[in-house]
């Protein structure tokens, strides 16, 4: 798969930049590109399912179609519906002092965009930022993950069917190529991945003053109010947590549950797992851990937590053996965790769910605020006043109230983190804006009020300055 070398990347970027300078994609071209990209994704839907399943070892067909196919199609459809309006210059107000001049904001493509995508949703997180870059009129270089090689090869094939090589290039390769890719002088660099790698990407981009969007991760909490229905919360938490076996950047990372309801929450989550995945080893709906390294990392988190006194509760309805070679990890609850455990310091990125008790909701909020700002926050509550208080007193990349994960599927909401969980936003118009230069333009009128404010200054100028600085 390693078809590109670091030395080969600069000429590719130069080719894309020269082509963009010769002809910037107009509205018709962008619409055509997006339409053909949509058709290619739909045409290759079965290939995507097969490639992703092969890379993971086992991946739910429905999860792939929902998260890696439907989401991309939906995003492209949204962009095509609204693109003409997005591209139209926006009239803005002009300060009365400068009347009758007028002002507007124009939206221009930045040029050539670099995109580095991860392995957990290898099609979604590659093609959604690519679609946004194309909608904004850019050319692009895409570096998909080497950890999902079959899907990355398919992405290269799919993209080559849609775009000429001087408009979009797909770069395959491992960490060395990724590092060189990050150091290229793109007009914008978009990265999705871990906070640790995001820091390295930002460092590399800074040498060229390349603007970056970093979609990272972190520990996304769930706060469940004392009187919220436990069964409803468990069903919605299980849906978000065990999707893709927890290998989701916005998956609930830990639960904050009132101390009197911890046992009830454990029982409710156990019931959910039994109903959804009665036989884990043969379930077509339950996804494997992507590789041995990730599987061993997750096991080590559990081993260390248990050795430190935590109670580990695997939810394995059939009590079946799950050998490491399968890389199938049972949904696992962990009680009695401490803040100094790796389990509570690292993003889990797997089907492990610590449960922390609290006495008052304010105590739960304080715990969230004592840690890095998360990519997502989930609050389950039927009390509007208390919900508003939680929203007002926490900061997160995005929030779902009384559910998990679903805020990411809203095309009219920006998606992105804050601080260690990310920089910048995309999805819908927010992706278009990320990959556009919002150019301010001031149009002077035939008669300029500024004619009164030029040397040699006279009494009128004195009067106006005195009035304006009063």
Catalytic residues: 215, 249
| Range list of β-strands (E), 84-179 | 90-92, 102-109, 112-116, 139-143, 168-170
| H/E segment holding residue 386 | helix 384-392
Instruction: Report the SS3 class of residue 214.
Output: strand
d(CA 209, CA 6): 20
Contact between residue 143 and residue 114 where contact means Cβ atoms under 8 Å apart:
yes
d(CA 58, CA 53): 5
Q: What is the DSSP string of 19-85?
A: HHHH----HHHHHHHHHHHHHHHHHTHHHHHHHHHHHHSS--HHHHIIIIIIHHHHHHHHHHHHHHH
Q: Exposure of 242 by Cβ count < 10 A (0-12 exposed, 13-18 middle, 19+ buried)?
A: buried
Q: Minimal CA–CA distance to 225: which of 387, 403, 404?
A: 387
Residues 6+ apart with CB under 8 A from 25: 33, 109, 134, 137, 138, 167
20 phi and psi angles, rounded to 5 deg: -65, -35
Q: Minimal CA–CA distance to 334: which of 241, 239, 227, 233?
A: 241
> Checking phi first, is residue 9 left (phi over 0); if not, alpha (psi -120 to 50) or beta?
alpha
d(CA 165, CA 139): 10
Residue 120 structure tokens: 């957990």
Residue 456 structure tokens: 């040699």
Angle between helices 175-182 and 195-206 (to 10 degrees): 50
d(CA 117, CA 431): 15
């Amino acid at each position: 798969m390693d078809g590109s070398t670091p030395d080969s990347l600069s000429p590719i970027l130069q080719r894309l930049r020269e082509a963009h300078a010769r002809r910037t994609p107009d509205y018709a071209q962008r619409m055509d590109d997006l339409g053909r990209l949509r058709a290619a994704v739909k045409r290759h839907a079965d290939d995507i399912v097969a490639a992703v399943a092969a890379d993971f070892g086992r991946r739910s067909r429905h999860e792939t179609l929902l998260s890696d196919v439907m989401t991309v199609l939906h995003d492209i459809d949204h962009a095509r519906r609204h693109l003409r309006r997005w591209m139209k210059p926006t009239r803005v107000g002009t300060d009365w002092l400068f009347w009758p001049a007028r002002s507007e904001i124009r939206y221009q493509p930045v040029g050539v965009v670099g995109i580095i995508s991860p392995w957990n949703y290898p099609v979604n997180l590659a093609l959604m930022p690519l679609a946004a870059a194309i909608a904004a009129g850019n050319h692009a270089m895409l570096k998909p993950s080497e950890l999902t090689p079959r899907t990355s090869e398919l992405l290269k094939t799919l993209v080559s069917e849609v775009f000429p090589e001087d408009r979009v290039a797909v770069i395959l390769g491992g960490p060395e190529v990724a590092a060189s890719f990050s150091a290229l002088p793109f007009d914008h660099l978009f990265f999705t991945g871990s906070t640790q790698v995001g820091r390295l990407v930002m460092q590399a981009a800074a040498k060229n003053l390349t603007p970056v969007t970093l979609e990272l991760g972190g520990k996304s909490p769930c706060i469940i109010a004392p009187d919220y229905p436990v069964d409803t919360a468990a069903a919605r938490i299980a849906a978000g947590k065990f999707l893709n076996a927890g290998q989701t950047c916005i998956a609930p990372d830990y639960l904050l549950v009132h101390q009197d309801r911890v046992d009830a929450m454990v029982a409710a989550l156990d019931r959910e797992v039994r109903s959804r995945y009665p036989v884990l080893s043969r379930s077509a709906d339950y996804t494997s851990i992507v590789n041995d390294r990730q599987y061993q990392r997750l096991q080590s988190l559990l081993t260390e937590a248990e050795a430190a006194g935590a109670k580990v509760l695997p939810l394995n309805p059939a009590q079946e053996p799950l050998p490491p070679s399968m890389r199938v990890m049972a949904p696992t609850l962990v009680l009695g965790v401490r803040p100094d455990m790796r389990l509570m310091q690292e993003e889990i990125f797997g089907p492990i769910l610590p449960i922390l008790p609290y006495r008052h909701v304010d105590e739960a909020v304080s715990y969230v605020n004592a840690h890095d700002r998360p990519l997502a926050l989930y609050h389950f509550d039927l009390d509007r006043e208390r919900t508003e208080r939680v929203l007002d007193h926490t900061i997160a990349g995005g929030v779902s109230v009384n559910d998990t994960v679903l805020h990411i599927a809203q095309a009219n909401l920006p998606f992105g983190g804050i601080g260690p969980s990310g920089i910048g936003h995309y999805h819908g118009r927010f992706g278009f804006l990320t990959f556009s230069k919002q150019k301010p333009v001031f149009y002077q009128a035939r008669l300029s009020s500024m004619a009164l404010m030029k040397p040699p200054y006279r009494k009128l100028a004195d009067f106006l300055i005195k009035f304006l600085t009063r």
